[in-house]
């Protein structure tokens, strides 16, 4: 029997696990959380049941259907609180997947290594938040944080809140905040009305085909009206103010390139601000496995969701930011193919069609909400760019000019930007963009990217030491080894 290892139990991973089981594979499903569903279906734990939790979610019955069937299925081993920290490709085919299992950031977690026949990577994405003055103040959150705390804990991150950034995700963030009692003072979308129309207006029949998606967006729009939340395109939060926490924000009108228009600033008193400018795919495991990326930095896949590495499939946001429906379709196709199937087979015909429909959304989102270079216009000399290492924009520029290097690796070492504990997850792509502006033709020359993280999650030295067995090569002697059956 084929052994399929699925990494990530969000929409794509759940769909992959389910499809691989239907095709007859034995499945192991890993997730770093103790709950399935990923960020999209982030929900209350079993210790806090709620009769009408489905009101907070889109596709809730799809989720519970997938989850409950997999839990009941003896052929699917679900390991929660499982953090994959490395993937070692192997010339012979089967990559080794190294995992620690236990309380998040715990001290003595169990170590496991898997060598499955096929891997489905469904690691998802996290918010990308561009730096702005004051974004390091407490009370400044990503949209994802507001969502997670509202849906997973019923907490409002503030009482008077502004939501800002770019993309359709701002709408569910505002809805979630309003749903836990926050007053949402406005949603400020950086994309101007012209860009939004350019992204969303063409080929309206495609939106009709994508019925569920259109309904999801329409539902958020109705919620905006019900809660009287103003939606302002072409505007951005360009600064947050406060001493020990955020007390107000400055909102300004933007040009098409997202540079702020002087004279349009106004200040709004807030106790929280939630800012997201899109999503960054979580690529470290795909890169560690040797998967090739596309020019726009997603995992390159074929019609079977197969990456450029034999036996390694990818689905969901790591192949392109497309939302839950695309993730479900891709996940199903990836799981099916990982278990030995083909996308051309009849039982996945619907998934192939849905994948084609929803892929169009990624292009629309990019056209309407994609990051434009003028955001650098709201940075000041002392704006923190790298939060972990507390590197300011001015210092970054001076170090870059001082070294004269055009290599990302060298510049990271010189400026320390992106070298902190988050390993550049938050600032990496923004730092790359800022550094590239100094390079001739705007391109860094060493070909490295900030998504490469050979150790995909921090381990404690004690845990690393405990891996060392009496052997030459500790990485190959982890315990307990999960054998193929």
Of 287, 96, 281, 318, nearest in space to 331 by CA: 318
Q: How far is CA 124 from CA 265, 295, 309, 399, in A?
A: 35, 19, 19, 34
- At closest approach, how far in Å is the CB of 158 from other proteins? 6
Helix (H, G, I), strand (E, B) or coil at 26: strand
Encoded tokens for 157: 């991150």
Q: Residue from 141, 298, 343, 378 that binds other proteins (CB under 8 A)?
A: 141
The pair of structure tokens assigned to 441 is 């033709």
Interface residue with other proteins, options 138, 204, 404, 454 (CB under 8 A):
138
**β-sheet bridge partners, residue 78:** 29
Q: Evaluate the CA torsion angle 124, 142, 451, 444 in order and state its sign.
A: positive
Stretch that binds other proteins, among 132-140, 297-305, 363-371, 400-408 (CB under 8 A): 132-140
Q: Is 95 in the site for other proteins (CB under 8 A)?
A: no
Residue 48 as a binder of other proteins (CB under 8 A): the answer is yes
Is the C-alpha dihedral spanning 427, 428, 430, 431 positive or negative?
A: positive
Q: Where are the extended beta strands (E) located within 166-234?
A: 183-189, 231-233
**Site for other proteins contains 61 (CB under 8 A):** no
Residue 163 interacts with other proteins (CB under 8 A): yes or no: no
Give the length of the chain: 485
CB of 389 to other proteins, least distance (A): 8
Binder of other proteins out of 24, 65, 75, 104 (CB under 8 A): 104
Q: Is 136 in the site for other proteins (CB under 8 A)?
A: yes
Query: CB-wise, 126 or 198, nearer to other proteins?
Result: 126
Residue 99 vs 426, nearer CB to other proteins = 426
Give the burial class of 472: count Cβ atoms within 10 A of its Cβ; 0-12 exposed, 13-18 middle, 19 or more buried: exposed
Measured from the Cβ of residue 445, the count of other Cβ atoms closer than 10 Å reads 14
Out of 1, 71, 103, 455, the residue judged to bind other proteins by CB under 8 A: 103
Task: Give the C-alpha separation, 70 to 34, whole Å.
Answer: 15
| Distance of alpha carbon 328 from alpha carbon 378, whole angstroms | 38
Is 485 an interacting residue with respect to other proteins (CB under 8 A)?
no
| Binding status of residue 127 toward other proteins by CB under 8 A | yes
Does 55 interact with other proteins (rule: CB under 8 A)?
Answer: yes
Residue linked to tokens 């898997």 = 114
27 versus 36: smaller Cβ distance to other proteins? 36
Positive or negative, the CA dihedral 65, 124, 272, 263 is negative
Chosen residue from 388, 411, 417, 478 binding other proteins by CB under 8 A: 388
Contacts with other proteins, 263-302, as mask; x by CB under 8 A: --------xx------------------------------
Residue 199: closest CA among 127, 128, 256: 256
Our finding on whether 154 is near other proteins (CB under 8 A) is: yes
| Pairwise CA distance, residues 50 & 152, whole Å | 11
* CB nearer to other proteins: pick between 90 and 380: 380
Q: Is 461 in the site for other proteins (CB under 8 A)?
A: no
The structure tokens listed for 423 are: 């390993």
| Closest to other proteins by CB, 406 or 415 | 415
Options 104-112, 195-203, 283-291, 326-334: segment touching other proteins (CB under 8 A): 104-112
Q: Is 222 in the site for other proteins (CB under 8 A)?
A: no
Interface with other proteins (CB under 8 A), residue from 56, 84, 86, 408: 56
50 binds other proteins (CB under 8 A): yes
Q: Which of 381, 390, 437, 481 binds other proteins (CB under 8 A)?
A: 390
Q: Tell me the closest approach of the beta carbon of residue 126 to other proteins, in angstroms.
A: 5
The neighbouring-strand residues paired with 160 are 183
Show the tokens assigned to 44. 């209350």
Chosen residue from 51, 72, 443, 461 binding other proteins by CB under 8 A? 51
Distance CA 14, CA 24 (A): 16
| Euclidean distance between CA atoms 238 and 161, whole angstroms | 15
* Region for residue 37 given its phi and psi (left: phi exceeds 0; alpha: psi -120 to 50; beta: otherwise): left
Q: Does 257 bind other proteins (CB under 8 A)?
A: no
Residue 346 DSSP code: G
Contact between 426 and other proteins per CB under 8 A: yes
Q: Which is nearer to other proteins, 149 or 293 (CB)?
A: 149
Q: Which of 68, 105, 303, 345 binds other proteins (CB under 8 A)?
A: 105
Q: What is the largest CA-CA distance in the chain?
A: 68
Q: Smallest gap, in angstroms, from Cβ of residue 137 to other proteins?
A: 8
Which residue is it, tokens 């990923």?
A: 38
- Residue from 10, 37, 59, 152 in contact with other proteins (CB under 8 A): 152
Query: Do you find a cis peptide bond into 480, omega within 30 degrees of 0?
Result: yes
Q: Is 431 in the site for other proteins (CB under 8 A)?
A: no
Size, binding site for other proteins by CB under 8 A: 61
| Near other proteins by CB under 8 A: residue from 71, 155, 222, 468 | 155
Whether cis (ω within 30° of 0) applies to the bond prior to 386 is no
Question: Which residues of this chain interact with other proteins, rule CB under 8 A?
Answer: 32, 34, 39, 44-53, 55-56, 103-107, 126-127, 136-142, 144-149, 152-160, 179-181, 244-245, 271-272, 387-390, 420-422, 425-426, 458
């Amino acid at each position: 029997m084929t052994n399929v290892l699925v990494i990530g139990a969000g929409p794509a991973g759940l769909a992959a696990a389910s499809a691989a089981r239907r095709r007859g594979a034995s499945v192991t499903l890993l997730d770093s959380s103790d709950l399935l569903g990923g960020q999209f279906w982030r929900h209350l734990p079993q210790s806090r049941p709620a009769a009408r939790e489905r009101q907070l979610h889109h596709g809730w019955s799809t989720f519970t259907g997938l989850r409950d069937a997999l839990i009941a299925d003896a052929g699917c081993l679900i390991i929660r609180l499982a953090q994959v920290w490395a993937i070692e490709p192997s010339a012979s085919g089967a990559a080794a997947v190294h995992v620690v299992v236990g309380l998040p950031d715990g001290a003595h977690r169990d170590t496991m290594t898997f060598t499955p026949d096929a891997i489905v990577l469904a690691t998802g994405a996290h918010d990308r938040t561009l730096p702005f003055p004051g974004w390091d103040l407490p009370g400044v959150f990503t949209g994802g944080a507001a969502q997670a705390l509202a849906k997973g804990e019923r907490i409002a991150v503030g009482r008077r809140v502004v939501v800002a950034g770019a993309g359709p995700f701002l709408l569910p963030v505002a809805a979630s905040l309003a749903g836990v009692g926050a007053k949402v003072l406005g949603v400020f979308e950086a994309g101007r009305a012209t860009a939004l129309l350019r992204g969303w207006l063409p080929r309206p029949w495609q939106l009709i085909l994508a019925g569920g998606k259109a309904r999801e967006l329409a539902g958020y729009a109705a919620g905006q009206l019900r809660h009287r939340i103003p939606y302002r395109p072409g505007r951005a939060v360009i600064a947050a103010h406060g001493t020990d926490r955020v007390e107000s924000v400055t909102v300004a009108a933007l040009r098409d390139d997202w540079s702020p228009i002087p004279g349009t600033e106004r200040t709004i008193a807030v106790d929280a601000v939630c800012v997201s400018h899109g999503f960054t795919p979580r690529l470290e495991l795909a890169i560690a496995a040797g998967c090739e990326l596309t020019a726009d930095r997603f995992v390159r896949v074929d019609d079977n969701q197969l990456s450029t590495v034999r036996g390694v499939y990818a689905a969901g946001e790591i192949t392109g930011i497309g939302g839950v429906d695309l993730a479900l379709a891709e996940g199903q196709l990836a799981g099916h193919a990982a278990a030995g199937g083909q996308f051309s087979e009849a039982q996945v015909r619907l998934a192939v069609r849905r994948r084609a429909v929803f892929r169009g959304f990624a292009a629309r989102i990019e056209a309407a909400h994609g990051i434009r270079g003028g955001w650098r216009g709201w940075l000041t000399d002392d704006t923190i760019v790298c939060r972990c290492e507390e590197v300011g924009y001015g210092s970054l520029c001076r170090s870059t000019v001082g070294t004269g290097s055009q290599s990302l690796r060298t510049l990271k070492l010189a400026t320390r930007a992106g070298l902190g504990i988050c390993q550049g997850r938050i600032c990496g792509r923004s730092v790359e963009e800022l550094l590239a502006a100094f390079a001739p033709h705007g391109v860094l020359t060493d070909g490295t990217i900030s998504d490469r993280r050979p150790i995909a999650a921090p381990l404690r030295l004690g845990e690393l030491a405990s891996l060392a067995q009496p052997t030459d090569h500790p990485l190959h002697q982890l315990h307990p080894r999960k054998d193929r059956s």
